[in-house]
A and B are shown apart, each in its own frame.
Chain A
Amino acid sequence: MSAKPILIVGGGPAGLSAAHAAARAGREVVLVDKADRLGGAPILQGYAKLVPSHEWARDAIGGMVTRVAQNPNVTIHTGAEVQLFEGEPGAFTATLKDGRKIAAESAILATGFTHFDSLNKPEWGFGTYPDVVTTVQVEQMISSGQGIRCPSDGRVPDRVAILLCVGSRDRQIGREWCSKICCTVSANIAMEIRELSPRTNVYIYYMDIRTFGLYEGDYYWRSQEEAKVKYIKARIAEVTSDGQRLVVKGEDTLVKRPITIPFDMVVHAIGMDPNVDNMTLSAVFGVALNRYGYIDKATPYAGLAQTSRPGVYVCGAATGPETIDDSIAQGQAAAMSALNRAGTVLMNAAE
């Protein structure tokens, strides 16, 4: 069999899953990642315990990395980017930035997302006050073992506010989508904070709570009923400081009253932006983006993981905000589509 390898771009949960699936089915796989190591956001950003398994990211996703790295069918190029992608389905050629050429039967884009940069919402104090942090920073505080501490002076906060929908559902900054995971992640983080520091009270300021599906019970309800996390329906207007503590201003819509509440730490539940490289990816691979800037899926039903270009597939958060477990499922679906395509070609040749 002289079949060419399947090119997979991106080594996060979706890419690792696609690589594993295709390689296990006996295909050669070339896995390219621009970072210096595999694992994607959960590894590179230092996530703590994952939803819904509560496993540490370094164990769960790290295990996926090891599994792919040890598979003889997989060739890995880290610190590499595709500069040119030419040819037809079954006979693509990818040229990396360093000039190396890779012949590929098909390509799977698992290029993921970029976290929203909170500096784009200056009214919420990120970048101005050191004790305003993001969910990613809290994940790092937990995964590094340093615990929940105010960056300004290292004290354990008495009171933490988590602001939902930072960088999501906001026309003012051109982001109309729900980032899907932040409610559940925030509930998870809130429970972690309460566990690490029972005297710390955690308040979540929300517009709607979207802990979809079974996360309702395990995250939303459990955070309220067992961890006593408080949910307040208010979109915060601004975060300032009285010189001692942070001051969160907004309207408590359920009592129709303005609030100015002191907090020790404010956490932005940042959303998922399209990968900052999506314009480049779109040009290099000749795939269309949707109106939000994510890589467009050609059809939601007939062909899984297809992009606008035949022979190029997409999976995971490259297509829009996505959970880790769904990204993994989509990685397998993309691998299946790529394998199907290759199989069809072989069968046609045999006839």
Chain B
Amino acid sequence: MAELAFAMPALGADMERGRVVRWRVKPGDTIGRGQVIVEVETDKGLIDVECFHDATVMALLVPEGVEVAVGAVIARLDVAGAAPTAEGPRAPPATEPARLPPTSAAPAMPPVATPLGARVIASPLARRRAAALGVDVATVAPGTSGRISAEDVERAAATSTRERDPKEAMRRAIAAAMAKSKREIPHYYLWQSVDVTDALAWLTAHNARRPVTERVLFGALVARAVARAAAAAPEMNGAYLEGAVRSSLEVHLGFATAQRGGGLVAPALLDAHTLDVDAMMSAIADVVARVKSGGLKSREMSAGTITLTALGELGVDGVLPVIQPPQLAIVGAGRVTERPWVVGGAVVVRSVLTLSLAADHRASDGHRGARFLQNIVKNLVPPEAP
């Protein structure tokens, strides 16, 4: 038997806390890889959190309705045939969760602060619960005994779950992630105008006899081209973590999606490099519907290896985007517009798209970035028959 401490995952670089809304398993349950075990409310909405092990549930440590810090242990699992390990605090972009050495089996926890000179009397159990719940024991009011019990900790945790305006919370989360990106990632930017007339003609023909339920939008062609190019560009696809580039073999393409009424999420289209045009369209439609109605999965929120942001529908010519930490690059697409274009020495009217790239200079140089952008263009016009 091997025990696994299941921690509140960071569903994106900007998440600090999450509230356990509903447990979907109970102690004694046998769970499979990929099974949703808990619903967590975050700044980005309600997320289904999956487990990436075959395991038996030993204990659920956080009651429903309680908010804890990222990294706090929320459940104990018995993992068949696995070494003791801690899941989180952030799953790397690769499919396998981090295998930390046994010495770090206790998840990273904010140190329990005690004001100098004040002595906090708390039972070991209370301290463990406080750590699990992300509660500072020094702030917990002791019960009548004068000694802080686990119950006191739980009460404090429950009452500290303040009601928050979700819009404001999301704004703060975006602010934190983008400020971190601009502070830490040395961005460089490239852009290119691309004649997409042939791609649009292909798309019109592709859609001509299709029912509305099978229709493909231009964004799916762009997403497919970016995913294919990313699969061949390790310095653009993955993460920069602990001072090193961690390239990903798979492409999980973050698809920046505006929420109605403000805010932004970029859930990942998993294994996007393997999808043909129709499968890409279905994947986008599925994820966009769940951005609006809930039900995004934890893996979709944390697995992104590169992001695409398309703002052309709002009329902008192009976008110089900000990289989502810890990713290595982000591709931007502006609007498709008719422009005079020179073909074979003559000026003709063509449909033109401005593609842009922001990439991490720690991972690549402009030369590689230019090749990557070229490769996107190559995959865009004209698309191969699916």
Q: Are these two chains actual partners, yes or no?
A: no
Chain A residues within CB distance 8 Å of chain B: none
